[in-house]
């Protein structure tokens, strides 16, 4: 990563996606363990790596003491409604997330695309609405196994990206827009992309962003997600072009999440 390039807005991030896990007391315990295990240098040096957590909606409030502005962690929701407010039963809008203390939201996770039929159009509306409201966005893209096996993974990911960004204007390309490449076949399977394959996709994404959105586009932080563990985080980061991680399973234990954070900070 171009850490000495002061003109870049790229930032290293490690974000834990807690999915539908942890009751509030458990989230509270994990938050405490994380804070206790973070070295003071990491907490003080925000430019080294930013650490985020994405608990369930109902645990947002209880993790507040450890999240910005009171604490060092950045708080994300796992989803956000496309609409500001209204008669949308079961939805939570951007202003409600900000009100609950979340500064950002994950959008377009493959589990939402698959289990809740979120399509490119809906994801594009969510991205635009969230950015307009002032949230940070982690936009997820990634191909299923059969697409990778057919060799169409790059075009699949670029098509998801192009659709998701289609409602944006140049002003939206700030450091509040982060991307995450998460191959579907790597999520929760224990089989991560090889560092070379992950880095190749990140370069493809960045190249496409540069072609379409010039420097502000190419400057996005691009995280990798999919079976990141203490044992592979270092080699993934070392491959270059990877600005950090979105971590599922391994973020549910302080020890493994802290080890991944350390790898991201030191490489
Ligand atoms: C995820 O769901 O975003 C994810 C990366 O999960 P895991 O790390 O468990 O593969």
d(CA 53, CA 217): 25
Euclidean distance between CA atoms 133 and 93, whole angstroms: 9
Catalytic residue check, 2: no
Q: How many residues does the chain have?
A: 267
From the candidates 118, 153, 182, 202, give the one annotated as an active-site residue: 182
Point out which residues pair with 179 in neighbouring strands.
139, 222
* Global pTM value: 0.95
pLDDT tens per residue, range 120-154: 999 999 999 999 999 999 999 999 999 999 999 99
pLDDT of residue 16: 98
pLDDT in tens, 7-50: 567 899 999 999 999 999 999 999 999 999 998 877 766 668 99
Residue 259, pLDDT > 60, answer yes
What is the atom index within ligand 1 of the atom nearest the CA of 189?
A: 10
Confidence band, pLDDT 50/70/90 cuts, at residue 216: confident
Return the ligand 1 atom nearest residue 187 CA: 10
Q: What is the atom index within ligand 1 of the atom nearest the CA of 192?
A: 10
The predicted structure's pLDDT at residue 2? 39
When pLDDT is averaged across residues 250-259 and rounded to a whole number, the result is 98
User: Which tens digit of pLDDT belongs to each residue from 161-204?
Assistant: 999 999 999 999 999 999 999 999 999 999 999 999 999 999 99
Q: Which residues contact 161 (CB under 8 A, 6 or more apart)?
A: 139, 141, 179, 205, 208, 209
Residue closest via CA to ligand 1's atom 1 equals 248
The widest CA-to-CA distance across the chain, in whole angstroms, is 48
* Closest residue by CA, ligand 1 atom 4: 248
Q: Which residue has the tokens 């592979």?
A: 232
Kindly list the domain boundaries of the chain, sorted by start residue. 13-266
Average model confidence (pLDDT) for the chain?
A: 94
Q: Does the pLDDT at position 226 exceed 60?
A: yes
Contact 38, 72 (CB under 8 A): yes
Residue 267 pLDDT greater than 70, yes or no: no
**What kind of fold does domain 13-266 have according to CATH?**
TIM Barrel (3.20.20)
């Amino acid at each position: 990563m171009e850490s000495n390039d002061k003109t870049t807005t790229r930032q290293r991030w490690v974000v834990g996606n807690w999915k539908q896990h942890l009751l509030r007391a458990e989230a509270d315990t994990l938050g405490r363990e994380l804070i206790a295990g973070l070295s003071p240098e990491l907490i003080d040096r925000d430019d080294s790596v930013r650490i985020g957590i994405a608990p369930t909606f109902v645990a947002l409030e209880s993790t507040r003491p450890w999240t910005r502005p009171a604490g060092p962690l950045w708080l994300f929701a796992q989803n956000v409604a496309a609409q500001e407010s209204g008669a949308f039963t079961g939805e939570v809008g951007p202003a409600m997330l900000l009100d609950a203390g979340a500064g950002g939201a994950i959008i377009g996770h493959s589990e939402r695309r698959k289990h809740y039929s979120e399509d490119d159009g809906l994801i594009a509306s969510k991205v635009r609405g969230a950015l307009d409201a002032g949230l940070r966005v982690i936009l997820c893209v990634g191909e299923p196994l059969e697409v990778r096996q057919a060799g169409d993974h790059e075009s699949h990911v670029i098509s998801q990206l192009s659709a998701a960004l289609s409602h944006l204007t140049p002003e939206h390309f700030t450091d509040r827009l982060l991307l995450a490449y998460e191959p579907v076949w790597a999520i929760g399977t224990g089989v991560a992309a090889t560092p070379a394959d992950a880095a190749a996709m990140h370069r493809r994404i960045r190249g496409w962003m540069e072609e379409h959105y010039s420097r502000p586009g190419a400057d996005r932080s691009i995280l990798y997600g999919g079976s990141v563990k203490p044992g592979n985080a270092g080699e993934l980061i070392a491959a270059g072009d990877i600005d950090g991680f979105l971590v599922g399973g391994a973020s549910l234990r302080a020890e493994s999440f802290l080890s991944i954070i350390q790898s991201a900070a030191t490489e």
